[in-house]
Structure 1
């Protein structure tokens, strides 16, 4: 099998699922589509039915006296999203916005078109419906840093922990019987579990042998170490936020869910109060929808800043260049962050070592992950390593060609070196880069994708630190297990790097730049303290908030879906408190 055949097989399967989609197999588990008329009024309009928006709409609809409208640009969650084994067919499909970075001529030059895919879900459930399930909250240090930067203790770890716990419907006997149990909830909407695999013991032992800590629960008291992670999977089903938070309340008469509808602009009155939105329906009809209390943008790290800028809120000079009247001059779209990651493939055990995981309701692979601090006394990680163990050659080719979209020469040169072995695929990412990117408008047309300058490694210190992380992780090559199975790193053909001394700092630096990929842990483009205040209200206007990953001032130490859900729980509490206070004052 070669890269072209892998891509073609993926395309054929995606087409088959698109045919199945006409059956609407998930429709019965979700709220019925809202019947919305032009000019209709609601109390709260939530724009974006993703990881944050579904949570927020569910929580706001707990208020019996209000009407909540949730608007999603994509369709209902498809059948292939429900089964974990099918996740590979969701990215670069019609359920993905399919945005890419701009080619900066520096990083990611080994990718097709020299750009990076910026996978984001365009579907009810958003990215939680197409992501890779791994549930990581981040370190207490992350939230304490947020609180300090905005001078609001409500965002420190002690005060956000209850909102993490509130969401969870956690099921894992080992953790429930451990000292970590008080860090988890069992009565929430979001199903979570682990899938500990005895076959991973040798890998955990390998990481421990070279100096890493092993922990049972990375989301409990400990924030560093190697572990078998938690997944947003329960009872054989993906726990995307549409299924987890909307299905249980699908019959609430005050919850209205409108899909296949693109919001194009936030409407303001003469006092700079957000009073509604304009939106384009599936039938290409432009409608106006009113909000008597608030408009809340939960459209994500790319689309929330895009919508703010289309509505006149953003950098003054950029908006003038787009011929958009400036309402408020704010650094919208700035401060873009991710965790740039590098793929390393290792040739490991003989191919017959273990059968592949077959159950479609389980995570599609064997995985061990680590959050690693280079300084043992540091309470948060410098890098994350997600390692898929004992994968087939075909799976390795899929990671190379599909997940990372490296060019065919790179992928072919790696796979040709494998001789009857299972592989280990390691994704090593830097957790706290200094580099920042930017999201900008391509035009004033809301259908045009935004321009994304990722800025990966634009600060040289990040590349230096990433090289330290790659070298630190690569100590596994000195482990007894690695030597016993005669493991080796599979080095691709990289003309830029081949002349450099193997495994020197210069070689790792070159390798990291060429083989860098996105972790899809995008945050920061509507950051607290810059664009929104500590209650997530947009500065300079009224009745408008942003509630999604874009409000994070700094990235967390790990995957970002869990903290995004927490942000929505925290925001719902702010909004409900405001509602109750206003109601009391009007009595």
Structure 2
């Protein structure tokens, strides 16, 4: 019997990989092995009694719904659909369950590049990633129950209201901010309503949101540095103020990660109508050639091909890479491309795989000359976490700090930032001996500041490498091919350099890394130098989106309609980041969960079971009533907030998109 089974009173099958595999063997083996064992014995962290029971084979050959992918969107969709007792729901996930170590916030980077990761790389880039082997950038994508919500930094941000109003204006009714906010609230269980703008938050939902219980002193000094440069400090970037520096809230509970699987699937583990299968890679959706109706799903388990039939709908939720790949393998996509790779055509839909977007960054590195380079993980930190769920292991270090800022290229209103800043350092991820004060090396501590382009204009594409469903797809990111992305990123780098030189951070003796990337022989610090640097060592964020674009009939690249139904194929929807017409200006996890929440309600309405909460029932979630606009903003009929005046840049952008998408009524609203 394992230690967890003895302690927690239920069977505790081993879920790998162990922490030793994520830090490397050798000198890390003993300490990290002991720590891994202790974590597995913590009932709330390992959660052996609360995990979903996974099947080794389908219970039935027929299901009402099959959800493909158990990530940020798929876990939500499967949990919500299985709320209807009479519906049989099967969730197929290509990876395994999340290991206990991944629940520890400070281990946020440990599982990147391992067996929980698809380990994708882009094709050779022409304008970015030039300093990496093969001119390829690596992409972290979760191959595990919970998907990227098991590997990401847990930051809970939704973006800007304008992001969603832009979606609606582009011909997607029902996706404006006032429409989607109730679904954010539906998921949320915010434990700090007194410390945020409570009107914008929910409580009692399955997704726990709060700040980490620990942060390094430098985190607060970064906020001071922001003030010193004239920027504001926001207590809630999801609230009334969308700009400034902040200690972000995160998806965590009692000092441990809350993935989509932990939040949504584990509470549903006792439902007899929900089946979950792991290590099951979907190879295609079975579509009737004549009727173009989704009839089932084919998948590979333990090297053997299997299939199940579907009576109602298939929900594809593989993410921005795998969802278009699955559609293409199913014969849904551009007919010329499918003919080239030898996939039989089921429906010509040329937009599948197009419109690939991602936030792009650059890591500005500093040495903290007044601090030694030591391990932040030691026996003291481990003991504090094991006993109290606090201390350095209960947070992501400096990565919980962020900022939303406007460069000179942003919307002149100042209310629609085009830049986000991330920070890194003080992360208790790995250690060799656990000795308190043990040095990594003889040098000083290092930290980094990463500017991120929030509204990228460069577009890439996902396509098939071959008809082999197990071959990785071709990923052409096309980073920095649009001049505006380069300009914004260079401005962000200069802001990061100025931050490092503030009085607030002088106590750390920050020294900018002045080493020049290969081929960047321009004067250091010039715009030309930084442009060369960002093209050499481009930083891709894990925010890929847009490859199954939501859009109206008039959009030739639209893959799904505003109900998330795949155009031209009956009984097939997509519910993940791939449906975003444009990237939200924030981390994407919260938005993906919202998409699945709303998508599940749409399915329930169609099949006449009723949504969990009717549309009319959401009025109570609107402070002052639904017709009064979102909290803190004027009603639609009389908007005059900064950035939303008639003929303002923000309104004009919406007007142009809406008019071109067959919505002429927006001209009178903005004109």
Alignment of 1:288-307 (within 5 A): 288-307=307-326
1:157 matched residue in structure 2: 177
| Contact map agreement 1:392 1:423 (CA 8 A) in 2 | no
1:373 matched residue in structure 2: 406
Alignment of 1:514-525 (within 5 A): 514-525=536-547
What SS does the corresponding residue of 1:231 show, helix, strand or coil?
A: coil
Residues 1:460 and 1:186: Cα distance change in structure 2 (over 3 Å): same
**Equivalent of 2:607, from 575, 579, 582?**
579
1:407 matched residue in structure 2: none
TM-score, normalised relative to structure 2: 0.77
Deviation at 1:459, TM superposition (A): 1.3
1:285 matched residue in structure 2: 304
**Equivalent of 1:342, from 352, 359, 362?**
362
What SS does the corresponding residue of 1:127 show, helix, strand or coil?
A: helix
Deviation at 1:518, TM superposition (A): 0.8
1:556 matched residue in structure 2: 584
Deviation at 1:186, TM superposition (A): 1.5
Give, in whole Å, the separation in 1 of the partners of 2:416 and 2:110.
Answer: 33
Mark the runs of 5 or more structure 1 residues left unpaired by the alignment: 1-6, 396-415
1:320 matched residue in structure 2: 339
1:31 matched residue in structure 2: 52
1:217 matched residue in structure 2: 236
Residues 1:353 and 1:306: Cα distance change in structure 2 (over 3 Å): closer
Whether 2:505 is the aligned partner of 1:489: answer no
Give, in whole Å, the separation in 2 of the partners of 1:360 and 1:354.
Answer: 13
Structure 1 residues 483-524: Cα deviation after superposition (integer angstroms, max 9, x where no partner) = 555432112342311x21121110111111112111111000
Alignment of 1:99-178 (within 5 A): 99-152=120-173, 154-172=174-192, 176-178=193-195
Residues 1:504 and 1:479: Cα distance change in structure 2 (over 3 Å): same
Alignment of 1:66-85 (within 5 A): 66-85=87-106
Alignment of 1:248-287 (within 5 A): 248-269=267-288, 270-282=290-302, 284-287=303-306
Give, in whole Å, the separation in 2 of the partners of 1:10 and 1:197.
Answer: 23
Deviation at 1:474, TM superposition (A): 2.5
Give, in whole Å, the separation in 2 of the partners of 1:179 and 1:124.
Answer: 31
Residues 1:425 and 1:459: Cα distance change in structure 2 (over 3 Å): same
1:455 matched residue in structure 2: 478
TM-score, normalised relative to structure 1: 0.88
| Contact map agreement 1:80 1:87 (CA 8 A) in 2 | no
Give, in whole Å, the separation in 2 of the partners of 1:182 and 1:464.
Answer: 36
* Residues matched between the structures, number: 550
**Equivalent of 1:501, from 519, 523, 531?**
523
Structure 1 residues 110-133: Cα deviation after superposition (integer angstroms, max 9, x where no partner) = 224431111111111111011111
What SS does the corresponding residue of 1:74 show, helix, strand or coil?
A: coil
Aligned-CA RMSD value: 2.9
What SS does the corresponding residue of 2:608 show, helix, strand or coil?
A: helix
